[in-house]
Amino acid sequence: MDHILNNTEFEDYDISVVMSFYKKMKDFRRVLPVNAPYFQRNGIEVIIALDEPTECEALIDFIREYPDINWRVIVNRNDHEWRNPCKAWNVGIRHATKKYIMVVDPECEFLTDVIYHLKYAAELYEDYFYAGRVAFVDYTYKAGPHTVETERFSNYGSILTKKEQLEKVAGYTEAFNIWGGEDDNLRAKLKHIGVRKAEVATALILHREDETDGVVSRASKILALPPDLINKAFTPDEQDFNNPDWGRDFEEIRYDYLSSVMD
């Protein structure tokens, strides 16, 4: 793991970390002890868009064990089956208060100081979105000094970009209702408005799962998408840029760190 750089590296990170959260307590408990020091920085807020209510109280109790993180939890009171996270991500993005948005899954473990590396790239280059790299591993996997050489990292790690850029493209396209396609579609929309992609090779994440076949499995799942969704993923249409209701699927703020401090 990287040395966790001191808060003074950036006076204000100005980043909203957005997570879509659907029945992920088991995973979140495993990775947060590793990730927490990265979140405990000036100008970082962590927004959890909790897309169902059954784990709400357990989540609140757990994050209160990390009082140095600026948390906000928005909960969907509608209990439903799993769905594509694009609507929940958009809820988090709409509620974000910072200049930059970083999207990350709750089961992702930072192998390097991902937030710092993406922020550093953002300070150097304008009119880009910044993407780290990810390897899909199970919970028995232990990272070592040769992890980067031995694991298959792909350029689908967490994305960081300006909130105003996401607002211009109406966030994630909410027409995606099954697994897959929404990430490629968002990147294609950003490129369409002139926001280019910058790959940050030093921003490394381990996507933890109980069982995983890694990148190969993900690629086969993408190919199994219906043809219309595959086409939409890489070729956005006009409707993808025009959704005035994006990010409004639910809005109940269940926990706000700043409000709790003021009470």
Place 108 in a pLDDT band, splitting at 50, 70 and 90: very high
Q: What is the pLDDT of residue 213?
A: 56
Q: Which CATH architecture has domain 9-245?
A: Alpha-Beta Complex (3.90)
Whether pLDDT at 26 is above 90 = yes
Give whole-number Cα distances, 3 to 45, 102, 108, 179, 245, in Å: 21, 20, 18, 35, 41
pLDDT of 126:
87
State in Å, rounded, how far the first CA of the chain is from the last one: 37
Segment 193-237, tens digit of pLDDT: 999 999 999 999 999 988 655 544 666 666 778 888 889 999 999
Given this model, what pLDDT does residue 228 score? 87
Mean pLDDT, to the nearest integer, of 229-246? 94
Tabulate helix, strand, coil % of the chain (nearest 5).
Answer: 35, 25, 40
pLDDT at 236: 96
User: Given this model, what pLDDT does residue 214 score?
Assistant: 52
Domain boundaries, the chain: 9-245
In tens, the pLDDT along 70-98 reads 999 999 999 999 999 999 999 999 999 99
Measured over the CA atoms of residue 35, residue 40, residue 43 and residue 49, the dihedral's sign is: positive
Statement: residue 50 has pLDDT above 90: yes
With a pLDDT cut of 70, the percent of the chain lying above it is 90
pLDDT at 219: 63
- The mean pLDDT of the chain is 91
Q: Band of the pLDDT at 1, cuts 50, 70, 90?
A: very low
The SS3 assignment for 75 reads strand
CA distances from 152 to 76, 121, 134, 213 (A): 35, 23, 8, 11
Instruction: Compute CA distances 4 → 1, 102, 117, 181, 247, whole Å.
Output: 8, 18, 11, 33, 33
Q: Evaluate whether 4 touches 33 at the Cβ level (below 8 Å).
A: no
Nearest-angstrom CA–CA distance, 123 and 120: 5
Residue 149 confidence (pLDDT) = 82
> 144 pLDDT band (50/70/90 cuts)?
confident
Distance of CA 161 to the CA centre of its chain: 11
Bridge partners (DSSP) of residue 108 are 207
* pLDDT, mean of residues 10-34: 96
Give the SS3 label for residue 257: helix
- The pLDDT > 90 percentage for the chain reads 75
Res. 257 pLDDT band, cuts 50 70 90: confident
According to the model, what pLDDT value does residue 225 have? 82
